């Protein structure tokens, strides 16, 4: 529950400190006094959207601090522990600072947090029903939400949502994979054509390099033969001078020496080795020269082959030497395509299994909803009669939806039907109810479902619009009864509802230094009588209106 609220420089609030009690607290005041400022401040501290316009005129920032008691709010304590914000076993402090020229800041127990964290924590502590909340009853999603709150089956609801999430996730993966397979299939057709074209080439390993070397040899064969022949002649065959005869002459001269030194012997040895190498080199060149035969047909054949290789290489935008690697890559692409079928088959089976799990979980939740729908329908009808709609009828109808319309909430189509006259048939609320009737229906459902609302603090901002008289007495007692198990804050303009509060706060405007401000005061019993008299009779407070106000107060306390 809310223990205390501190507001500074917010709208027309200069500075305000307020301690709240458990039970039902009502806020009243004249029109324009700012009765909803407290609600607006709570919305901001719970991560609501802010703008610099909410900062009090002449100030640079607004600040809101709310202290909550969380002894009995296990989900809030657990969330704080999970996120390392848990500083105190009994309290949680939410703080929001809105700056004029800088980004606003949020804190949980003095830890800086983003607005989403404030929102998550706030939703575990406070549930705000605004004066326009009844309009949400026109939406089927909200009708289902109210039924689920009444059924109080969070485990089953979460199970359905998780089953759907897993199934939906697998379906997305499967769809993406099927689309990718189609893309790969289109690619495979192109790859198959390319491989067919390349396979006709029958390219051998390193063939291009070998052909290129042979083409270079054949195209320069005459020049090569001349050079080889000249070298052979100089080494071995020249009629006047050869390398061999020169070496032999040097050897003969050295061997003719009478005294042969060691250095000379070593030189002789090297020269003898050299002459052997020259003879062997000459022999090799001679043999190689015999192989240098010019074959025009072979050269033409190589030219054609190289031309074919180069043409395909250019077509596929690779170097001729890269065609082998391209063929390997294309073949791997074809092999990859086959693996898609296996993965698609696996995901198809997984998706079917998850779908069945979702259907089973949805059916379990649907059974709970259908049982709860009957009980909720009966309770709402009973409360509508207490609220003055004596000829009304109400039913929560649940229709099964096909699997094609599956969603995270399951397979149920929840629709609340109502008739306001005995002779009328049940129809959707958008077709039959007036604004006042819708307010009463909304209030009835809110009060009934509040018993299963996990939030320790419920706030009602003028939800009693459109009712009065005996109906207002019933509403006041309903809210007071709710205040017996949780904290209720209610902004109201009805004296019957205001009299039902355990605590009564008066919202007033006042002027200070030519600036308008709002203050909120806790009223004593005598002050409450004066305020209830004003609410009943307007500005002309008489002994009769005071007596009526005191009667309302005493009657509500019984």
Give the C-alpha distances (Å, rounded to integers) separating 228 from 165, 212, 225, 281, 286. Answer: 81, 21, 5, 11, 8
Phi, psi of 10 (to 5 degrees): -110, 115
pLDDT string in tens for the chain (558-residue length): 899 999 999 988 889 999 999 999 999 988 777 788 888 899 999 998 888 889 998 888 999 999 999 988 888 888 988 888 887 778 899 999 999 888 889 999 989 999 999 999 998 899 887 766 666 778 888 899 889 989 989 899 999 999 999 999 999 999 998 888 787 777 666 777 777 777 777 777 887 788 777 677 776 666 777 777 777 677 766 666 777 788 887 888 777 776 667 777 888 888 888 888 888 887 887 777 776 766 777 777 877 888 877 888 788 788 888 888 887 777 776 666 667 788 889 999 999 999 999 999 999 999 999 999 999 999 999 988 888 888 889 999 999 999 999 999 999 999 999 988 877 888 888 776 666 677 778 878 878 887 777 788 988 887 777 677 788 888 888 888 888 888 999 999 899 999 999 999 999 988 877 788 888 999 999 999 999 998 887 667 888 888 988 898 888 777
Q: Could you please report the per-residue DSSP string of 164-214?
A: HHHHHHHHHHHHHHHHHHHHHHHHHHHHHHHHHHHHHHTPPTTHHHHHHHH
* Structure tokens given for 46: 């719970």
Tokens encoding 271: 């020269």
Residues constituting the chain: 558
Alpha-carbon gap, residue 515 to 502, rounded angstroms: 33
Q: Side-chain half-sphere of 405: how many Cα atoms within 13 Å?
A: 7
Q: What is the pLDDT of residue 211?
A: 79
Q: Which fold does the domain 1-131+462-558 belong to in CATH?
A: Rossmann fold (3.40.50)
pLDDT the model gives residue 20: 92
Q: What pLDDT score was predicted for residue 108?
A: 93
Q: What is the pLDDT of residue 131?
A: 61
Q: How far is CA 337 from CA 178, 187, 188, 351, 502, in A?
A: 11, 9, 8, 21, 73
| CA distances to 190, 368, 502, 535 from 497, in Å | 78, 34, 11, 11
Among 196, 191, 198, residue whose Cα is nearest residue 333 = 191
DSSP annotation of 103 reads -
Give how far Cα 522 sits from Cα of 207, 219, 269, 367, 381, Å. 99, 111, 125, 48, 37
What is the reported pLDDT for 144? Answer: 92
Q: Could you give phi then psi for residue 319, rounded to 5 degrees?
A: -70, 155
Look at residue 522 in the predicted model and tell me its pLDDT: 92
Domain regions of the chain by residue span: 1-131+462-558, 184-337
**The pTM is what?**
0.64
pLDDT at site 237: 67
Identify the pLDDT of residue 132.
63
Give the rounded distance of the alpha carbon of 304 from its chain centre: 61
Residue carrying the six token digits 């306001």: 420
- Give the pLDDT of residue 127: 85
């Amino acid at each position: 529950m809310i223990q205390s609220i501190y507001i500074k420089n917010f709208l027309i609030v200069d500075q305000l400190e307020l301690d709240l009690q458990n039970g039902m607290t009502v806020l009243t005041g004249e029109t324009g006094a700012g009765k909803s400022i407290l609600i607006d401040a709570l919305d901001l501290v719970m991560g609501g959207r802010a703008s610099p316009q909410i900062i009090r005129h002449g100030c640079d920032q607004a600040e809101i601090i709310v202290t909550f008691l969380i002894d009995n709010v296990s989900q809030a304590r657990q969330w704080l522990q999970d996120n390392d914000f848990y500083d105190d076993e009994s309290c949680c402090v939410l703080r929001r600072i809105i700056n004029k020229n800088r980004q606003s800041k949020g804190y949980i127990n003095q830890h800086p947090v983003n607005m989403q964290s404030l929102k998550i924590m706030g939703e575990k502590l406070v549930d705000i029903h605004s004066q326009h909340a009844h309009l949400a009853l026109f939406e089927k999603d909200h009708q289902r939400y109210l039924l689920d709150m009444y059924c109080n089956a969070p485990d089953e609801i979460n199970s359905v949502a998780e089953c759907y999430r897993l199934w939906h996730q697998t379906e997305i993966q499967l769809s993406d994979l099927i689309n990718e397979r189609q893309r790969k299939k289109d690619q495979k057709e192109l790859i198959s054509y390319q491989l067919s074209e390349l396979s006709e080439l029958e390219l051998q390993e390193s063939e291009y390099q070998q052909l290129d070397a042979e083409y270079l040899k054949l195209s320069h064969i005459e020049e090569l033969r001349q050079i080889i022949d000249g070298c052979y002649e100089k080494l071995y065959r020249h009629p006047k001078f050869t390398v061999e005869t020169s070496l032999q002459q040097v050897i003969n001269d050295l061997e003719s020496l009478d005294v042969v030194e060691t250095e000379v012997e070593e030189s002789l040895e090297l020269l003898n080795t050299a002459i052997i190498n020259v003879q062997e080199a000459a022999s090799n060149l001679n043999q190689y020269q015999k192989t240098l035969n010019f074959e025009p047909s072979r050269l033409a054949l190589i030219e054609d082959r190289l031309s074919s290789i180069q043409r395909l290489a250019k077509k596929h935008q690779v170097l001729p030497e890269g065609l082998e690697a391209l063929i390997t890559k294309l073949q791997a692409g074809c092999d990859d395509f086959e693996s898609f079928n296996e993965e698609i088959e696996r995901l198809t089976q997984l998706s079917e299994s998850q779908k069945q799990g979702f259907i089973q979980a949805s059916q379990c939740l649907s059974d709970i909803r259908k049982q709860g729908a009957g009980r909720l329908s009966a309770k709402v009808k009973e409360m509508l009669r207490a609220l003055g709609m004596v000829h009304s009828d109400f039913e929560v109808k649940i229709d099964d939806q096909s699997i094609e319309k599956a969603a995270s909430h399951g397979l149920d189509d929840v629709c609340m039907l109502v008739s306001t006259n005995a002779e009328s048939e049940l129809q959707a609320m958008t077709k039959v109810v007036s604004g006042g009737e819708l307010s009463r229906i909304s209030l009835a459902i809110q009060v009934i479902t509040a018993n299963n609302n996990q939030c320790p603090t419920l706030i009602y901002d003028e939800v009693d619009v459109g009712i009065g008289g005996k109906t207002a007495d019933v509403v006041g007692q309903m809210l007071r009864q709710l205040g017996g198990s949780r904290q209720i804050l209610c902004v109201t303009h009805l004296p019957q509802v205001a009299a039902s509060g355990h605590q009564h706060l008066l919202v007033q405007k006042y002027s200070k230094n030519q600036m308008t401000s709002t203050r909120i005061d806790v009223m004593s019993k005598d002050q409450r009588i004066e305020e209830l008299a004003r609410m009943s009779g307007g500005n002309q407070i008489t002994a009769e209106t005071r007596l009526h106000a005191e009667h309302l107060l005493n009657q509500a306390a019984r």
